[in-house]
Structure 1
């Protein structure tokens, strides 16, 4: 019989990267890598911090033992909390992707990473925030400003600039590779097949190589349409998150599915 209040490695792997993913709380002290989407709350009132996010919690440690007490305390506070079966060690042993934390910029006083880029995003500047919020720092803050203001604001606000054509900025296009590629690779996520497939689509849409992936033309059309629908960059980002959520799920689960007039017709002899 499975232990109560324990989530399996396989089940968590199906939830990571999705908008309904649980709040993944990592208790380890300064780890080199982590499960994508992990949060690292400061020492203090963990229950209050978790409650402020309003989501079910999965507590992880190096192995399952270190997180049992924390999860039990959270449940005593009325917070739905589970322990990852086997902890991070089991996650790594199972071959699931881990996030390289050395590439993560320093967090601000609010515990979030801050990022800044050019206003009026189209493809890369929506794809990158999606990647960051789903896999890197779910609480990340994004600032959109005029192109000439990006580096000044980055220095003044200690925000990480991205998708800027400047050799001083690590998160930028390099040859035929776009900024999304740079982030996927630097954070150690290139081995995650669905993200690698999504990177192909983003690259095709963002670099005018629509023959690179059949889906690139559709992503470009949707991105340009969203840009014209939304005058506010943050509203556009919110709408774009759903687009990339859907594309990621297609890359992960639905590439083999086809749809035409007969795809969902009842089988012969079965009434609709």
Structure 2
């Protein structure tokens, strides 16, 4: 039974990667591996970094015996919804929870998030990658959409990480028939999470015109092209696209065995 104002790793496992996930704050010193969606923060200035937060906060320390309980109590005294992960990061690891490797994460800016830049008028990869980053890697990430010829100069001037650009100087790009989404899943250590690798095949099929890779790829292509024609603002399109990938991820994780037809959800007839 988790302690007071604590949740178990098994409960958190159902929330990570979804819009229902709390804001996970990792209080460990310079972690290189995190629970998906975690933001590293110091326990010393909790009221400062929590000031703009308007969602439930989950605090994670090394083993549940560190500063998480004290910081949660402080935040609750300030009227904020704050819980701790029972047993801390070690409990998450022991339970087999997936983790994100931060070796390839770009530096954070003064606003606390990483900044990324790519080509304007996104279709598939340039929506899928921001979804992956915000849901699993950095919920505070900022994305800049610019003209293709400006990506590298904006990357330098704004300290933003370029992605999905056909240029040998860009790390995050297509390789060997795989798209940028594939590379991000691998580089962030998420390639052992089957729902994401299943989703990656759909994204790859839609993004590289190899629709036979997954039956769902043609549907994603159609939805993506429709979204690109429904929005003139790239950031509005990204927000709409987030819901698409949220749905695909939940289907990939939870609804593989479910079928649907005219009678599949009809109530059973009463016996005479």
The TM-score normalised by the length of structure 2 is 0.96
Contact 1:62 1:89 in 2 (8 A): yes
Task: Structure 1: give runs of 5+ residues left out of the alignment.
Answer: none
Distance in 2 between residues matched to 1:195 and 1:181, nearest whole Å: 9
Deviation at residue 109 of structure 1 after TM alignment: 1.8
Question: Higher mean Cα deviation, 222-231 or 51-60?
Answer: 51-60
Q: Is 1:115 matched with 2:116?
A: yes
Question: Higher mean Cα deviation, 1-10 or 231-240?
Answer: 1-10
Distance in 1 between residues matched to 2:251 and 2:60, nearest whole Å: 28
Q: Is 1:134 matched with 2:135?
A: yes
Deviations 1:29-51 (A, max 9, x none): 11120101001235654134324
**In the alignment, what sits opposite 1:59?**
59
**In the alignment, what sits opposite 1:22?**
22
**In the alignment, what sits opposite 1:85?**
86
Contact 2:27 2:43 in 1 (8 A): no
Task: Structure 2: give runs of 5+ residues left out of the alignment.
Answer: none
* Helix, strand or coil at the partner of 1:102: coil
Distance in 1 between residues matched to 2:153 and 2:4, nearest whole Å: 52
**In the alignment, what sits opposite 2:251?**
250
**In the alignment, what sits opposite 1:150?**
151
The TM-score normalised by the length of structure 1 is 0.96
* Helix, strand or coil at the partner of 1:231: coil
Contact 1:115 1:160 in 2 (8 A): yes
* Helix, strand or coil at the partner of 1:211: helix
**In the alignment, what sits opposite 2:216?**
215
Contact 1:51 1:79 in 2 (8 A): no
**In the alignment, what sits opposite 1:170?**
171
Q: For the aligned residues, what is the CA RMSD? A: 1.4
Deviations 1:86-132 (A, max 9, x none): 11011111111111111100111221110000000000000000000
Question: Higher mean Cα deviation, 101-110 or 155-164?
Answer: 101-110
Contact 2:31 2:40 in 1 (8 A): no
Structure 1 segments of 4 or more deviating over 6 A? none
Deviations 1:10-59 (A, max 9, x none): 10010001112101010011112010100123565413432412111110
